[in-house]
Chain A
Amino acid sequence: MMNRKATRYLAATLTTAILLTGCSGPWNNPHQESSVNQNQTVYYTNFQLPPQHFDPAISYSTDESMLIDQIYEPPLGYHFLKRPYELEPLAAESMPDVRYLNTNREEIPSDSPDVTFSKYTITLKEGIDYQPHPAFVKNSEGGYVYLFTDESETANYRTLSDFGQTATRGLDADDFLYQIKRIADPHNKAPLIGFLAQYIDGMSELTAELKTVERDGWLDLREFKMRGLERIDERTFSITIKGIYPQFSYWLAMHFFAPIPWEADRFYNNPGFKDNNLTLDWYPVGTGAYMMTRNDPNREIILERNPNFRDDFYPTEGAPGDKEAGLLADAGAKVPFIDKAIYSLDKEVLPMWTKFLQGYYDRSGENHGNVTQNFDQALTIGPEGVELTAEMQGREITLSQDVKPAVYYMGFNMLDDVVGGYSTEKQKLRQAISIAWNSEEYIEIFRNGSAIPFMGPIPPGIEGSLKGEAGINTYTHDWKNGKAVRKSIEYAKQLLTEAGYPNGRDAKTGKPLKLYLDVQAQATSKSLEDWQKRQLKKLGIELELRATDWNRYKEKMSTGNHQMFSYGWLADYPDPENFLFLLYGPQSPVACQCDGNNNANYDNPDYNKLYKQMKTMQPGLERNQLIAEMLDQVRADVPWFTGEYPKEYYLNNQWVSNTKRHGISKATLKYLKIDSEVRKQKQAEWNQPNLVPLVAGMSIFVALFVPAIRAYRRRQKLVINTDK
């Protein structure tokens, strides 16, 4: 009886499953195909961490940029294909017109010693409109429809789709200025408020003024003047910055400088909206190729083609090799190619990777670790470096790789009594350690060859980083047979002896030299620690590791309570200045008593002087010479003794094209192309359900139950018979 019941339940469950899934293709399809218009081209991908901010004044994380950089358009952007990375106009019609001013704000030549300000004048492209949004909807009398005075009127509005109407308006130069004032407004808690105030004229004064303003609901920032901002006409505006800062152009390519219409700011300040999570921080309003139509960070975020997007076209030029790689096949075609992008939340690597192999995610590698954590299955080290495994090649998966504009480094605290200081002996001690610490071996063992060994603070692909023999660190490597070869341990030992530590012992006291390396507890392992100790053991030096959590680690850095450490830097913009400033003396947290980024506390007056000079120079030969001098200085002083430049990978399913990793810009979705038909066909082919194990399992279950029931019945009868 129970047996039949159980079988019936199982049959019903299976039938329900088949009914529910059978109609939408493969059973394991995680996407709701019914919600997608069959004529639309959809891109499926994932995000790993729920985004916290979409307000361009606040958002400052790569995961968030992956989404909002498709929505917001700052004045400048990056060329999709060209390498080295190249700036190009985005919302702007042309590159900014830069003029230099003296203290009286009169124009003077750029090489004049009296330059006090730089004025950036930006002219916008014609015909740019915002995405459809309820903030712009007006009634017949010209008043805004969705403006409320009381929370009771807004209780039913919970998402943007609850608003029946949408409208648009043209982009105005004032929208850019409004956004800069939003950054200055302390109420918005913009992370760059302090940094940008050092440069943009009048920003700190506006911040001080806004601090004292009484607020009751929306504050119209148009009523507040900021000295460095000027609206020239509806398509032209200017920003005045203090001194000369050529890197400011790169900042103009970041979403912090994207336009925000005042109507949107006012709309989201309606009473009660914040309690329903209706904020600009949650629902962006932009002029870019896409607009956010669903924001459920706990499940999925959907971007759809902005129907009001301006005419924009695929690049007609690229880097060498791009044409052969098929990256110029769509040259001059109108973008975007994709109608909808669906980002699903997936936190763990295994489901992400499985979905990619099943064809439910189009690419792998947009998120941290998705490819590198499945390295053995995805990639192999071939004679020409990293290449796809046979399994991946069999699936016609393609690989896009790039060296990240980043450096992961290990350094010394230059204020430390033992390893710090600038004497020749101290230099030699650090050089010896730098030679012994075999970064090539580390990359081979711990990074699967997915990085380039450290030669200096500037990663490859950034101006100032030279290729071949000219680019090697001559204090640690020699150039032999066309490649860089690490200097011998014998030479390192000799340096150590000259430094006063023969065989790793203090020549004066005879005590063994013991050094301390601070590490983040989550970023280390037993095997890594053993390997690290072995590196210094080669010189007879003892190494002790001190693992702490991230907060304590940061505290040690800011107080200078460390001897050796590891850190990393991901460039905000592709300029050597963005790396060389990490060793600029006044950036030392101990010296400035601030959150400076010079964790080595390196403070060489010669280097500092060169840095100050280089920072204000335009790119060119003269600047490159200064950079070479700075690199040589750093290599001799060795504040950083080892490191690597990480590589990044995209794996693309065979139906994805126009995919090239861009180390800086995330605004590349508009160039991506998907062949939906091939995808559908492959998904069906790769995901045929296999019912055999299920049926076999059920059969075993039933087979086990039958003897059990028989045994029970026999036992029952036995009891009855005994009673008789």
Chain B
Amino acid sequence: MLAYIIRRLIYAIPILMGVNLITFLLFFVVNTPDDMARAQLGDKYVTGEAIELWKETNGYHQPLFFNDKEEGLTALTETIFFNKSISLFTFDFGQSESGRDITSDVSQRVWPSVMFALPTLLIGLWVNICIALLVVMFRNTGLEKAFVISFVGLMSVSYLFYIIGGQYLVTRLWNLVPVSGFQTGLDSFRFLVLPVAIGVIAGTGAGARLYRTLFLEEADQDYARTARAKGVSEVTVLFRHILPNAMIPILTNIVIVIPMLFMGSLVMESFFGIPGLGSYMIDALKSQDFAIVRTMVFIGSVLYIIGLIATDISYTLVDPRVRLN
């Protein structure tokens, strides 16, 4: 297995390089270094000299990919792409265009993101599995139909509607929790309960519907029928026999997302004032802060690769037939 993991990690290097190249291309198709300078310096009274100075001190005075004033390898290394990329691969994220230390900001903002995303994932998973198993228990009945219709209904509603509706009802009409904000420690409960609840409810339609399909495939397998024939209760059949056997596709969905939890949620963090990494990325895009954008994309790619490897490893844990060669 170790050899497999090492091989996957080696494969990750060209993937990360490709992602970095694409990020770079996409960003600079839309923004030029001059645009970035203006975004930082403001549009009023900014002189060409001030723009040139900004570019020089922030390392954007060189050509993007090829420096025709240099010769040999330095024609490639004395470029914005090379200089900005090389530091990323050494995990030296440097400073944002406005002068803040990115590592320090990321390490501060990652925890609020996790505090919101982890309970949403775990509670959502638990709720979805329970509901899906319940539906499977009552398969081929009117109750199942009612649930499936509800799932489709829940899936059809926009995420924003859940947020705005939830905020209006729970915080404004019923005055139960604060509408937005964040505190650390025990007090964080008050601020997170609503976004987590909304996250869970909004994800229930799609989640429970998917799991129902997975469980239905297992529900009439021989082992399940044998268990029932032996007099095992339906609840035990569902939770002890069917659930573990349906774990592989569930794990595919879940393990891959776990590392991404650190990246935060763009919309929820913005509406609920959660100071996580999702809103960090949005702010960076608004202010054309390439240093933060490329760092966040890079971290996201690394976490995604870790998620994929972790998914493969988890298969071996839940299914002894799987071997990583």
Contact = CB atoms under 8 A, between A and B. Distances in A.
Interface of A: 16-17, 20-21, 26-30, 32, 49-50, 52-53, 60-61, 186-187, 189-195, 274-277, 279, 281-282, 296, 298-299, 344-348, 350-351, 354-355, 357-358, 360, 549, 551, 554, 572, 594-595, 597, 687-691, 693-694, 708, 711-712, 715-716, 719-720, 723
Contact of A275 (B32, B46, B101): B101
B318 to A, nearest CB: 25
B35 A60 contact: no
A355 B171 CA distance: 9
B320 interface: no
A554 B288 CA distance: 15
B182 interface: yes
B181 A344 contact: yes
A716 B233 contact: yes
A398 B174 CA distance: 26
B211 to A, nearest CB: 18
A708 B270 contact: no
A694 B283 CA distance: 36
A39 to B, nearest CB: 23
A113 to B, nearest CB: 28
Nearest to A298: B275
Given A30-B179, A712-B234, A595 B47 contact: yes
Given A189-B54, A275-B104, A354-B171, A28 B109 contact: no
B275 A299 contact: yes
Nearest to B112: A298
B162 to A, nearest CB: 13
A345 B176 contact: no
A320 B280 CA distance: 46
A572 B233 CA distance: 77
B99 A279 contact: yes
A551 B101 contact: no
Contacts of B47: 193-195, 594-595
A642 B14 CA distance: 55
Contact of B187 (A20, A346, A691): A20
Contact of B32 (A28, A60, A190, A551): A551
Contact of A346 (B99, B104, B180): B180
B164 interface: yes
A53 B41 CA distance: 11
B180 A348 contact: yes
B72 interface: no
Contacts of A344: 181, 273
A194 B46 contact: yes
Contact of B273 (A351, A688, A715): A351
B38 interface: yes
Nearest to B35: A551
Contacts of B191: 30
Q: Dominant SS at the B interface?
A: helix
B86 interface: no
Contacts of B270: 347-348
Contacts of A20: 186-187, 189-190
A191 B174 contact: no
Residue among A26, A189, A277 having the largest count of chain B Cβ atoms under 10 Å: A189
B49 A194 contact: yes
A345 B283 CA distance: 12
B108 A298 contact: yes
Interface in B42-62: 42-51, 53-54, 57-58
Residue among B169, B176, B186 having the largest count of chain A Cβ atoms under 10 Å: B176
Contacts of B101: 274-277
B167 A708 contact: no
Interface of B: 30-32, 35, 38, 40-51, 53-54, 57-58, 95, 98-101, 104-105, 108-109, 112, 134, 137-138, 143, 164, 167-169, 171-183, 186-187, 189-191, 193, 228, 231, 233-235, 270-273, 275, 279-280, 283, 286-287
Given A20-B187, A358-B172, A551 B30 contact: yes
B151 to A, nearest CB: 16
Given A27-B175, A551-B32, A345 B275 contact: yes
B171 A192 contact: no
Contact of A32 (B41, B183, B233): B183
A549 B35 CA distance: 12
Contacts of A723: 231
Contacts of B134: 708
B219 to A, nearest CB: 14
Contact of B48 (A27, A28, A350, A595): A595
B155 to A, nearest CB: 21
A281 B112 CA distance: 25
B175 A688 contact: yes
Given A193-B49, A690-B174, A691-B174, 20 more contacts: A27-B175, A30-B178, A49-B283, A53-B99, A189-B41, A189-B50, A189-B54, A192-B50, A193-B47, A194-B49, A274-B95, A296-B275, A298-B109, A299-B181, A351-B273, A354-B171, A554-B35, A689-B176, A693-B174, A719-B228
25 contacts: A20-B190, A27-B190, A30-B178, A30-B179, A50-B283, A189-B40, A189-B53, A191-B42, A194-B46, A194-B48, A195-B47, A274-B99, A276-B101, A281-B99, A296-B275, A298-B275, A346-B180, A347-B270, A348-B270, A351-B271, A354-B168, A357-B172, A595-B46, A688-B175, A708-B138
Contacts of B98: 52-53, 281
Given A28-B177, A28-B178, A298-B275, A693 B169 contact: yes
Nearest to A6: B130
B231 A720 contact: yes
B176 A708 contact: no
A572 B275 contact: no
A17 B189 contact: yes
Contacts of B104: 275-277
A350 B50 contact: no
Contacts of A690: 173-176
A350 B167 contact: yes
Contacts of B54: 189
A191 B57 CA distance: 13
A277 B101 CA distance: 6
- Give the top 7 A-B pairs by smallest Cβ distance, nearest first: A194-B47, A298-B275, A30-B178, A351-B180, A191-B41, A195-B45, A30-B181
A279 B104 CA distance: 14
Nearest to A719: B228
Contacts of B46: 191, 194-195, 595
Nearest to B58: A189
Contacts of A16: 189
Residue among A16, A193, A282 having the largest count of chain B Cβ atoms under 10 Å: A193
B41 to A, nearest CB: 4
A20 B168 CA distance: 22
B228 A354 contact: no
B99 A32 contact: no
A4 to B, nearest CB: 15
Nearest to B174: A690
B109 to A, nearest CB: 6
Contact of A60 (B31, B44, B108, B138): B44
Contacts of A49: 283, 286
Contacts of B108: 298
Contacts of A688: 175
A194 B190 contact: no
Contacts of A277: 100-101, 104-105
A711 B231 CA distance: 18
A351 B286 CA distance: 21
Contacts of B143: 708, 711
